[in-house]
Structure 1
């Protein structure tokens, strides 16, 4: 007999006592309480290509559902439930969202189409499953075993463990990021934080690759966080990172964008340390780029006596900023042609015109870059999209 409330109560019990290895069994046990034949959590892989069942036993994972061209994938990309009515059952896919971060989908196989009350209950269950996955994932490796489709290099392991979630929303501002190659990245990283009405965001691109680059990236990223948490302004943050990079890795350097956005006024300030300028889009069109560079790369500031330059710009509601590393624009086709800024701008403008969700724009962007280089990136490729859309006063 259906009893959605009891199903929710059983899953809530996992918050205190269980590991994620037990979640598949718990979902199976609660299926009858939801008038379901079976319930399965499907997680997106690191490359965001397919959805894989969380089983608790990696040796049992054989089948996946590709994101492109499937109902389950549409639920993931649109973050809206999708449904397929079969001759003998009904398949329902609900997005697994932790805030705005897309974790995967909850697949529910039902005997009949759910009524509104049951659909609402299943939506609650999906939200609870997403919360369980996010809060319990660090106590075991079930999520990592599910999401990884090949061994991850140590340099990439180090970087991924440093990063915040790929998607975030606060104060009418959204951030969505991507990072490739997923299993072998070493020199790129991004970070963000919101303190009061100030959004802090940074993008780093370290010289080199592999474990040496990841060590330098880790130093730059955590020095940035330390400076931010000590209340340093942009200039002193730049100086602090530069000092530690120069002291610990003489001769090496990191290009970066260090930025702050006042989410109340749209006032945007940034230091561009030897890095490509952000792509600024307004009303569906690319705007003139902001000045770049305004400072030498981190680790090389001693070669110039004047302080780093700070660019100030006031965003308008609806503006989009795309921060990216040169692995995006300098990717090459088989005949050596650069992807370039114009292709990047055209891609983002077109995707926004089709009203794709920001996270989906970024997923499709990185897959476009990988395809442009025929599946093998020559350099790390990272991008972060910032959108400012304040509510009318």
Structure 2
């Protein structure tokens, strides 16, 4: 290993956006005498990792998946003392994948710290390069997306976000055929804005409606508008386009990350649940008109409060109202049980567990609706 500092950030910024994995692999081989190097990115379902350097299929090895879930460096040593490191690739809480590095032996603490720094720099570069090349999106997609799903995934802010105050994650299902369901978030100082939206209609029509609603709310939010103004601008935009024929059931939330107060506008069907200790309860809000149902609709803010350690889950009707073969709904029979099982898991893993429970609930039958879940842990 060279004693000179490794200018990995400068190398990545100078590299073409589609060549970042090769730049890092070359650096690791030259400065750390690494053998095998692989950059693994998560697929859209978060159940597999796709290699960027090899032509092999998805990687589901336990070491890589443990690293993705725990967000901790993992080391496996073979009988000859050679070590395989799995380093998490994450940026502002977003889990992008895993950097896999083979070394002649376990790294010393200083070397391990340098390797973690390489992984961190690569994660930031991958996030920045995502819209400049199709390489990483192509690897993430194990199947061809529908046009509606392409619009929805491109509209998302990411799949995770967090710092020392909170951890947030969201997921869409079915990943390759999602239609009108959507979530959005933005962090500004001590205020976290979160929306979950269920657009009416089917296929591309539902996705286009969602695009209009989400961008109208973003337009209002980015000029400093509160939740009422965001809801009213989006409602007016949808009504002007569809004349009430299509609308979007939406829950708008703004969380004070210091005091835990949550401002809410409930404009439709998404449900909000709070996990506090061993108890899980639904937040009862006054349901107002879905966005776009009527012209010049007016909305009001309600408030509730989170306590440190609370978990908040927001789910669309494709989750809480899902039925399978005419049985009771998922919200009535299995959702609370799934949430209790995930209480010790971080939000991203918890969503995966609940989504698996939802797929098991459908028992192989095709869901009638797409589904969105967003999970927030408030740490204060």
Q: TM-score, normalised by structure 2?
A: 0.92
Alignment of 1:126-165 (within 5 A): 126-165=119-158
Pairwise mapping of residues 97-136 of structure 1 onto structure 2 (< 5 A)?
A: 97-136=90-129
Query: RMSD of the TM alignment (CA)?
Result: 2.2
Q: Does residue 1:50 correspond to 2:43, yes or no?
A: no
| Alignment equivalent of 1:275, drawn from 269, 277, 296 | 269
Equivalent in the alignment of 1:312: 303
Q: Secondary structure at the match of 1:150?
A: coil
1:253 matched to 2:243? The reply is: no
Distance (whole Å) between structure 1 residues aligned to residue 212 and residue 31 of structure 2: 50
- What's the CA shift for 1:319? 1.8
Match of 1:360 among 318, 329, 349: 349
Equivalent in the alignment of 1:234: 227
Matched residue SS, 1:127? helix
**Which of 203, 210, 232 is matched with 2:203 structurally?**
210
Report the CA distance between 1:326 and its aligned residue: 0.7
Q: Secondary structure in 2 aligned to 1:145?
A: helix
Q: Against the structure 1 CA distance between its residues 16 and 241, is the aligned structure 2 distance closer, same or farther, given a 3 Å change threshold?
A: same
Q: Secondary structure at the match of 2:36?
A: strand
Deviates more, 1:204-213 or 1:88-97: 88-97
Count of aligned residue pairs for this structure pair: 377
Structure 1 stretch 369-378 or stretch 86-95: which is displaced more? Answer: 369-378
Q: 2:330 aligns with which of 331, 339, 343?
A: 339
Residues 5 and 142 (structure 1 numbering): CA distance in 2 closer, same or farther, change over 3 Å? farther
- Answer yes or no: is the 8 Å Cα contact 1:167–1:174 preserved in 2: yes
Q: For residue 28 of structure 2, what is the aligned residue in structure 1?
A: 30
Contact 1:320 1:385 in 2 (8 A): yes
Contact 2:75 2:86 in 1 (8 A): yes
Which residue pairs with 1:350 in the alignment?
Answer: 341
Contact 2:199 2:209 in 1 (8 A): yes
Q: Distance in 2 between matches of 1:71 and 1:30?
A: 20
Q: Which string of whole-angstrom CA distances, capped at 9 and with x for unpartnered residues, describes residues 169-219 of structure 1?
A: 257133211111111112011111122322211110011221111110000
Give ranges in structure 2 of 5+ residues lacking alignment: none
1:344 shift after superposition: 1.6
Residues of 1 paired with 2:233 and 2:144: CA distance? 35
Aligned pair in 2 of structure 1 residues 301, 271: CA closer, same or farther (>3 Å)?
farther
Please report how far the alpha carbon of residue 327 of structure 1 lies from its aligned counterpart in structure 2 after TM superposition.
0.7
Write the distance in 2 (CA, Å) between the matches of 1:34 and 1:246: 59
8 Å Cα contact 1:24/1:40 also seen in 2: no
Tell me how far apart the structure 2 counterparts of residues 314 and 90 of structure 1 sit (CA, whole Å). Answer: 48
SS in structure 1 opposite 2:342?
helix
Give the distance between the partners of 1:21 and 1:195, measured in 2 at CA. Answer: 32
SS in 1 for 2:176: coil
Question: What do residues 320-349 of structure 1 show as CA deviations (whole Å, max 9, x unaligned)?
Answer: 221110111233345744212452222122
Q: Normalising by structure 1, what TM-score?
A: 0.89
Residues 22-41 of structure 1, C-alpha deviations (whole Å, 9 max, x = no match): 52364045324213212211
Q: In the alignment, which residue of structure 2 is the partner of 1:388?
A: 378
- 1:5–1:176 distance in 2 versus 1, CA, 3 Å: farther
* 1:85 equivalent in alignment to 2:77: yes
